A and B are shown apart, each in its own frame.
Chain A
C-alpha cells in the first residue's frame, strides 16, 4: 500500500507489527542512546515550567484569564483549524484530480501543487501584504497560509492514491456501488491516514508560525510570545503562554499515534499497482481547471511575481550581494549536518518505543510532538539558559544550535524513521546475534542498513525546515555566521527589499532541492518496494 508517505509524515498504512513483536529486552546501548533525545526534549519543557513558576500561581491565573489571552486563544484556534481544513480540502481535491481523473495536464499540476513547499510562508506573506490591506488580518492569513501549506496534504494523499491496491475498488464497483459510494466507502478510508498525517503537519506549522502572521497583523499565542520577549527581558507571561501552546500540541501528538493505530488493515499479499480507469470529469473539466489555475496564481504567481519585482527594482538592489556566497554556505553548513544530527538523535527514541520499551518509552517518544509546536525562540532561550549554566564551553557553538534543531524538528525525523523501522523485524537482529555478533554490531550491520534508504523524504523535509529556520539560528549560531534566512530577515527589517530579494530567491532555489527529493521519494515509492522484498522472502 502507501508506505511511500510513511517516509514523510508517518501516517501511512504500514503492516502492523506481527504477533512476534513481543516485549524483548532492549540492548543497553539503545536505552542509553534514547536518553539523549529525552533530555534534550525535556529542556524546553523544564525551562517553560521554571519560568512560569516565577510568575507564581496568582500570576499564572491572571495571565490565563485575561481578556487578551482569550483573544489569542480564539485567534490561534480559528487560524489553525481553518487552515488545516482548507489545506485538507484543496490537498485531497488536487490529489484525486491529478491521480484519479482525466484532468488535462496532470503532470504539470502535480509539479505546480508541490512547488509552494519551496516558498517560505514569510516570503509569500510579504508579497501579499504589499498588495493591500484586504489580505491582512485573520481571513487573509487563513487564505494565504492555506495556499502555502496544502502541498503537505496533497503529496501524501497523491502518493496514497497512486500506490493504493485497486482490488477493493474493483470489488466495490462489481458489487454494484457507484463511483461516489466507492470513493467514500473504499478510497477515503484508506487515504485517511495519509491525509490526516499531512493535516497534522499543517496544524503544527500553524501553531508555531510567526513570521507570516506578524506580517499579516494576526495575533496568536506564538506572536504574543515573541512580543512578550521583545517587551521584557525576563518574561514569565511569555512562559505561561508557551505552556498553553504546548497544551495545544497535545492533540497533534496523540492524533498522530491514533491515526497510526487506525491503519491496521490487513491485506492478502502485495498486489501489483496495475492500471485503473480514470474518472471522467466531463462538464467539470473547465471549472476544475479554472479553480486549480486560481490556486496556482495565489500560491505561486503572486509570491514569485513579487520576488521578481523586487529583484529588478529599488536602490538597495545589489547591496551586500557579496554576502550571498557566505550566507548560502552558512545555510548549507547548518542545515545538512543539522539534518543528520536530528535524525541520529531521533533514531534510538523510535527504536526503543517500537521494541516494547513500555509506557515510559512510548511517552518519551510522544514528547517531541508536544514541543514541535513551540516557537524556535522559546527553544533557543531554553538552550541559552541550560548551556550557560551546565555547559558554558559549548555556548554559541554549532553543537548547541544542532541541539535546538533536533528539539524543534525531531518529530519529522521520528515519523520517517518509524515508518521504516516498523518494517524491520527484530528477529533479524536475533539471527545476526546467533551468528556471533554482539548487540551493537548486530544493530549496526543489520537494522541500520535496512533503515537507511527508507527515510529520504523525511530527511528532505527536515532539511527544508532547517534552511528556513530563523529565530533559533539568530540566537544560537556562532557569532558572525549568517544564513540566507537570517539575511532576508535582517534586510527586510531594514526595509531593504530589493537587497533582500536575491537572498530570498536563493533560499527558494536551494529549498527546491529538498522539495524535489521529498516529492520524488513520496510519489515514487520504488525504493521501498525493493527494500520490502527481502522481508517477504
Chain B
C-alpha cells in the first residue's frame, strides 16, 4: 500500500539520526560525566571570559595541565554547585563576585587553600577561613555622558542620586551582583533604613537596566546621562569603540562613600574535587606574578598581588579612597536581597 521507498527513507533517516546521536557521543567519550575525563581540570567560571581564557592558556602552557571550562553567571553556577553537592564534577569555581564564593563556603563546599597561595594577596580580600581567595579587585563607579553632565556638578555621595533632582537620569541594575554588594555597603555604613530609602528613591527616580553593561551602554549612547556600574564595563566599551570616540567617562566619588566600593573576583577549590592538586596549583598560578599579569591584561580590573601593573588607564588604586568595607563584611549579600524585595525592585 505504501511505496517501498518510504520505508527505505525511514530506514535511512533512522540510521542518519542514530549516527548523529552516536557520533558526537563517540567524539566526547560517550555518556560519561565530565569528571571521568581524568587529568583535565574542570573549572566552573562565572568571571568574564577574556581574563579566564588568557589565564588558562598561560597555565596550560606553564604546567601541561588541560583545563575544561563551564561558563555561566556566578550566582547561577553557585546554585548549580549547591544543587550538585557531592556529585559535582567541578574542581574549581572562579567567581566574578565574592558573595557566590562566600555562599559556597557557608555551605561547607570549599576546601582550604594552601597557605602560601593565600599569602600572595592582602588577607582582607580573601576568606577569613582561607577557603577562597580574591584574585582581582573591581571598583563601583559612576559613569556619565560627557555631553550631558559636567562632572564638577556630580554629588558627593551615591545616596544623592535617589532624589528628584536626578529623576530619569540614573541607570542602575538591581540584578547585578555588584549592585547588591553596594547595597550591603550602604547598609553597613549608613544603616538599614537609609539603605531601604535609597533603594526606594532609586526605584522612583532612577531607571532599571538588566545589567551594568547595558546601563553603561545606555549612557554611552546618550539614552540616559548617568549609570551606577563597575569600572571595567566602561573600559571594555572604551576599548571596543576607541578612546577618541567614546562619549562617556568614569567619575570616582571617593572619600569613603559607598559610591566607590571595592569588590573582588576570586576562586575556591571544591572539597569534592577529583583533581584537587591541579586545582590548588591553578589557584596558586592565578595569584602568581605571571598569572596576575595574564588576567589584568585582558580585563580592566586591579591586580591584588602587589607589584603587578594593569595595562589599562585605571584610576590608581591608592587614590580611590573607597568605602571601608571588606568582602568578608559583604558576606553572601542575602540581606541586600531582602531590601531589594522590600523596595519592590526584585
Q: How far is the CA of A247 from the CA of B344 in the complex (A)?
A: 23
Binding site for B on A (CB under 8 A): 66-68, 130, 132-133, 136, 214-215, 217, 219, 223, 227-235, 314-316, 333-334, 336-337, 340-341, 381, 384-385, 388, 392-399, 428, 445-446, 448-450, 452-453, 474-475, 478-481, 486, 490-491, 493-498, 534
Q: How far is the CA of A397 from the CA of B28 in the complex (A)?
A: 10
Contact flag A394-B346 (CB < 8 Å), given A231-B75, A231-B340, A233-B82? no
Residues of A within 8 A of B175 (CB): 227, 230-231
Task: With CB as the reference atom, state the residue of chain B lying closest to A63.
Answer: B341
Q: How far is the CA of A334 from the CA of B28 in the complex (A)?
A: 13
State which of A223, A399, A474 has its C-beta within 8 Å of the C-beta of B31.
Answer: A399
State which of B21, B80, B82, B211 has its C-beta within 8 Å of the C-beta of A340.
Answer: B21
B188 within 8 A of A: no
Residues of B within 8 A of A491 (CB): 49
- Taking a contact as CB atoms under 8 Å apart, the answer to whether A133 and B224 are in contact is yes
State which of A396, A453, A475, A490 has its C-beta within 8 Å of the C-beta of B33.
Answer: A396
Q: How far is the CA of A463 from the CA of B202 in the complex (A)?
A: 43
Task: With CB as the reference atom, state the residue of chain B lying closest to A332.
Answer: B20
Further pairs besides A388-B83, A393-B32, A479-B68: 13, Cβ < 8 Å: A132-B223, A227-B174, A227-B346, A232-B337, A316-B240, A333-B24, A393-B31, A393-B33, A396-B33, A479-B34, A493-B213, A494-B48, A496-B50
Residues of B within 8 A of A340 (CB): 17, 20-21
Contact flag A341-B217 (CB < 8 Å), given A230-B75, A384-B84, A496-B240? no
- Taking a contact as CB atoms under 8 Å apart, the answer to whether A497 and B240 are in contact is yes
B180 within 8 A of A: yes
Pairs A–B under 8 Å by Cβ, sample size 20: A66-B344, A132-B221, A133-B221, A229-B76, A230-B73, A315-B239, A333-B20, A388-B85, A388-B87, A392-B33, A393-B32, A395-B87, A397-B33, A445-B7, A479-B34, A479-B68, A480-B68, A494-B49, A495-B237, A498-B240
- Taking a contact as CB atoms under 8 Å apart, the answer to whether B89 and A474 are in contact is no
B136 to chain A, nearest CB (A): 15
Task: With CB as the reference atom, state the residue of chain A lying closest to B27.
Answer: A333
B246 within 8 A of A: no
B13 within 8 A of A: yes
- Taking a contact as CB atoms under 8 Å apart, the answer to whether B89 and A385 are in contact is no
B174 to chain A, nearest CB (A): 8
Residues of A within 8 A of B23 (CB): 333
Task: With CB as the reference atom, state the residue of chain A lying closest to B241.
Answer: A314
A406 to chain B, nearest CB (A): 13
- Taking a contact as CB atoms under 8 Å apart, the answer to whether B20 and A337 are in contact is yes
Q: How far is the CA of A333 from the CA of B72 in the complex (A)?
A: 21
- Taking a contact as CB atoms under 8 Å apart, the answer to whether B79 and A233 are in contact is yes
Interface string of B67-94 (1 = CB under 8 A from A): 0111111011011101111010100000
Residues of A within 8 A of B49 (CB): 490-491, 494
> Which of A66, A219, A336, A479 has the most C-beta atoms of chain B within 10 angstroms of its own C-beta?
A479
Q: How far is the CA of A399 from the CA of B233 in the complex (A)?
A: 37
Q: How far is the CA of A440 from the CA of B334 in the complex (A)?
A: 56
Residues of A within 8 A of B20 (CB): 333, 336-337, 340
A108 to chain B, nearest CB (A): 33
- Taking a contact as CB atoms under 8 Å apart, the answer to whether A495 and B233 are in contact is yes
Number of A-B residue pairs, CB cutoff 8 Å, is: 163
Task: With CB as the reference atom, state the residue of chain A lying closest to B211.
Answer: A493
Task: With CB as the reference atom, state the residue of chain A lying closest to B53.
Answer: A320
- Taking a contact as CB atoms under 8 Å apart, the answer to whether B346 and A231 are in contact is yes
- Taking a contact as CB atoms under 8 Å apart, the answer to whether A215 and B210 are in contact is yes
Task: With CB as the reference atom, state the residue of chain A lying closest to B233.
Answer: A495
- Taking a contact as CB atoms under 8 Å apart, the answer to whether A480 and B83 are in contact is no
B120 within 8 A of A: no
State which of A230, A316, A449, A479 has its C-beta within 8 Å of the C-beta of B70.
Answer: A479
State which of B1, B9, B83 has its C-beta within 8 Å of the C-beta of A385.
Answer: B83
- Taking a contact as CB atoms under 8 Å apart, the answer to whether B84 and A388 are in contact is yes
Residues of A within 8 A of B211 (CB): 493
- Taking a contact as CB atoms under 8 Å apart, the answer to whether A481 and B80 are in contact is no
B208 within 8 A of A: yes
B184 to chain A, nearest CB (A): 13
Residues of A within 8 A of B103 (CB): 233
Residues of A within 8 A of B210 (CB): 214-215, 217, 223
Residues of B within 8 A of A341 (CB): 21
B158 within 8 A of A: no
- Taking a contact as CB atoms under 8 Å apart, the answer to whether A398 and B24 are in contact is yes
A396 to chain B, nearest CB (A): 5
Q: Which 8 A-B pairs have the closest CB atoms?
A: A133-B223, A337-B21, A233-B79, A340-B17, A333-B24, A214-B210, A479-B34, A480-B68
Residues of B within 8 A of A445 (CB): 7
State which of B180, B207, B223, B224 has its C-beta within 8 Å of the C-beta of A231.
Answer: B180
B166 within 8 A of A: no
B92 to chain A, nearest CB (A): 12
Q: How far is the CA of A314 from the CA of B246 in the complex (A)?
A: 12
B236 within 8 A of A: yes
State which of A393, A448, A475 has its C-beta within 8 Å of the C-beta of B10.
Answer: A448
Residues of A within 8 A of B70 (CB): 479-480
B73 to chain A, nearest CB (A): 6
Residues of B within 8 A of A233 (CB): 75, 78-79, 82, 103
- Taking a contact as CB atoms under 8 Å apart, the answer to whether B69 and A479 are in contact is yes
B21 to chain A, nearest CB (A): 4
- Taking a contact as CB atoms under 8 Å apart, the answer to whether B83 and A67 are in contact is no
- Taking a contact as CB atoms under 8 Å apart, the answer to whether B80 and A475 are in contact is yes
Task: With CB as the reference atom, state the residue of chain A lying closest to B9.
Answer: A452
- Taking a contact as CB atoms under 8 Å apart, the answer to whether B208 and A217 are in contact is yes
Q: How far is the CA of A230 from the CA of B174 in the complex (A)?
A: 10
Task: With CB as the reference atom, state the residue of chain A lying closest to B216.
Answer: A495
Task: With CB as the reference atom, state the residue of chain A lying closest to B31.
Answer: A397
Task: With CB as the reference atom, state the residue of chain B lying closest to A530.
Answer: B3
Interface string of B1-40 (1 = CB under 8 A from A): 1100011011001000100110111001001111000000
Task: With CB as the reference atom, state the residue of chain A lying closest to B180.
Answer: A231
- Taking a contact as CB atoms under 8 Å apart, the answer to whether B240 and A478 are in contact is no
A493 to chain B, nearest CB (A): 7
Interface string of B208-227 (1 = CB under 8 A from A): 11110110011001011000
Contact flag A384-B34 (CB < 8 Å), given A215-B210, A228-B346, A480-B69? no
A337 to chain B, nearest CB (A): 4
B135 within 8 A of A: no
Residues of A within 8 A of B10 (CB): 448-449, 452
Residues of A within 8 A of B223 (CB): 132-133, 136
Residues of A within 8 A of B64 (CB): none
> Which of A233, A315, A448, A494 has the most C-beta atoms of chain B within 10 angstroms of its own C-beta?
A233
